[in-house]
């Protein structure tokens, strides 16, 4: 019997509610498969910041490093805590702390989920977006400067508005050759293992962001040459945004930088019925990976018992897959498909009237191993 130690960070808002259901389903599936799971909960996030003025304690990375995986609910309390606190201290702090360079977002609609494309069927779409998650414009390099500050001396002359401004904000994107190469290589390796299409599509904006995106494009072609069995192509991010809606069936594995990937993955969530159905994970090759539904803390509906836990449940399944427990992962996914496609229990965002807990109970009752 395999045993795993999971660090659980429920976070804020509905994160606490959906994580409870994810753990309920996960525990039931693991017990049926004879797998031992132990969970340690950590109260970190925006709520923790309100009490202690820190969202993630200084020894958090050392503490979390002892676990096999991290299961995160959601962080943030907009209006009470600066948004940079939850994301900056918790999510980005853990990603950078464990070098979780690949944010993975599967795009596989479930029959019965809300469907917004009249010209395509849910069963026609099955792809995954790989987002580089440690570099780019999320390195938080730059600052806000007065126009006479030495840091912007060379910038002022570039545009007339710069010299007329009372303040200049500079946000620097940092792209490393090694960082680009490893996430692109990860995408090709995944394409080899998936559904036989073996196709990787890269997205950039190298006609405007010539330095960073130009390097990305060059590295993409170099890595593609290492995988002659895989098809590859690329398109600018604006064109890809359109193709996600008009021709989503053309994609297999999409690889993007941090910023563009952030935007595209929320767009792709519309193809699976909304953020309440979208699982996600941040994968590391050197430490524990972190698995989180990307829907946010939604404080406007917290405590009402109507948050959709499907994304958190599918995220738990993804976590088990990455831990090598495919039987558990597939059992959870099959149970979710049965519950959603048959309309057994759906929250209001999916056209139903079930509570968060009722959806978790229905999925738990449907698991078959």
DSSP codes of every residue in 192-235 = HHSSS--EEEEEE-TTTSHHHHHHHHHHHHHHHHT-TTSEEEEE
- Check: CB of residue 32 under 8 Å from CB of residue 94: no
Given this chain, do its domains 1-108+277-369 and 115-135+175-272 carry the same CATH topology? no
Catalytic one among 138, 199, 252, 349?
138
**Worst-scoring range by mean pLDDT, 83-87, 115-119, 279-283?**
83-87
**Could you count the other beta carbons within 10 Å of the beta carbon of residue 327?**
17
Average pLDDT over residues 195-204: 95
Portion of the chain with pLDDT greater than 90, in percent: 95
Residue 1 pLDDT greater than 70, yes or no: no
The segment with the largest mean pLDDT, out of 2-6, 75-79, 178-182, is 178-182
Concerning whether 266 is annotated as a catalytic residue, the answer is yes
Residue 257 pLDDT greater than 60, yes or no: yes
Largest CA distance in the chain: 68
**Could you count the other beta carbons within 10 Å of the beta carbon of residue 165?**
14
Residue 34 pLDDT greater than 90, yes or no: yes
Residue 182 pLDDT greater than 90, yes or no: yes
Concerning whether 361 is annotated as a catalytic residue, the answer is no
Residue 8 pLDDT greater than 70, yes or no: yes
Catalytic one among 4, 24, 67, 205?
205
Mean of pLDDT over the chain: 96
Catalytic one among 233, 238, 300, 304?
238
3-state SS class at 41: strand
If pLDDT is split at 50, 70 and 90, which confidence band does 85 have? confident
* Model confidence pLDDT, tens digit, residues 270-307: 999 999 999 999 999 999 999 999 999 999 999 999 99
Residue 351 pLDDT greater than 90, yes or no: yes
Query: What CATH class has 1-108+277-369?
Result: alpha beta
In angstroms, rounded to a whole number, what is the distance separating the alpha carbons of residues 289 and 133?
A: 12
Residue 191 pLDDT greater than 90, yes or no: yes
Pairing mode, strands 168-174 and 136-145? antiparallel
Residue with token string 């496609």: 341
Residue 173 pLDDT greater than 60, yes or no: yes
Domain ranges in the chain? 1-108+277-369, 115-135+175-272, 136-174
Query: Helices (H), strands (E): how many in the chain?
Result: 13, 12
* Model confidence pLDDT, tens digit, residues 218-255: 999 999 999 999 999 999 999 999 999 999 999 999 99
* Model confidence pLDDT, tens digit, residues 43-66: 999 999 999 999 999 999 999 999
Concerning whether 304 is annotated as a catalytic residue, the answer is no
Into which CATH architecture does domain 115-135+175-272 fall?
3-Layer(aba) Sandwich (3.40)
In angstroms, rounded to a whole number, what is the distance separating the alpha carbons of residues 48 and 108?
A: 35
Residue 88 pLDDT greater than 90, yes or no: no
Concerning whether 229 is annotated as a catalytic residue, the answer is no
Portion of the chain with pLDDT greater than 70, in percent: 100
Concerning whether 238 is annotated as a catalytic residue, the answer is yes
């Amino acid at each position: 019997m395999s045993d795993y130690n999971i660090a659980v960070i429920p976070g804020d808002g509905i994160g606490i509610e959906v994580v409870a259901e994810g753990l309920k389903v996960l525990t039931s599936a693991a017990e049926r498969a004879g797998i031992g799971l132990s969970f340690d909960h950590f109260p970190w996030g925006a709520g923790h910041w309100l009490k202690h003025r820190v969202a993630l304690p200084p020894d958090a990375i050392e503490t979390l490093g002892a676990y096999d995986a991290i299961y995160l609910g959601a962080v943030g309390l907009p209006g009470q805590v600066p948004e940079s606190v939850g994301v900056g201290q918790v999510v980005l702090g853990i990603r950078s702390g464990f070098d979780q360079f690949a944010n993975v977002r599967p795009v596989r609609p479930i029959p019965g989920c809300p469907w917004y494309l009249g010209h395509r069927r849910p069963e026609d779409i099955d792809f995954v977006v790989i987002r580089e998650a440690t570099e780019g414009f999320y390195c938080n390099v730059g600052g806000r400067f007065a126009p006479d500050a030495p840091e912007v001396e060379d910038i002022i002359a570039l545009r007339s508005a710069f010299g007329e401004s009372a303040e200049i904000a500079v946000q620097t994107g940092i792209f490393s050759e090694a960082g680009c190469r490893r996430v692109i290589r990860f995408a090709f390796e995944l394409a080899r293992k998936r559904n036989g299409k073996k196709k990787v599509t890269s997205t950039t904006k190298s006609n405007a962001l010539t330095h960073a995106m130009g390097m990305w494009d060059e590295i993409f072609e170099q890595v593609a040459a290492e995988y002659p069995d895989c098809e590859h192509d690329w398109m600018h991010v604006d064109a890809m945004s359109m193709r996600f809606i008009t021709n989503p069936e053309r994609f297999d594995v999409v690889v993007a930088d941090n910023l563009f990937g952030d935007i595209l993955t929320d767009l792709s969530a519309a193809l699976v019925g909304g953020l309440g159905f979208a699982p996600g994970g941040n994968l590391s090759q050197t430490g524990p990976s972190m698995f989180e539904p990307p829907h946010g803390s939604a404080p406007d509906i917290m405590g009402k018992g109507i948050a959709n836990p499907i994304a958190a449940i599918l995220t738990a399944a993804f976590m088990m897959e990455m831990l090598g427990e495919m039987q558990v992962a597939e059992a959870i996914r099959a149970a979710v498909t049965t519950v959603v496609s048959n309309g057994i229990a759906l929250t209001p965002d999916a056209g139903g009237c079930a509570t968060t807990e009722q959806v978790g109970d229905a999925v738990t009752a449907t698991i078959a191993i």
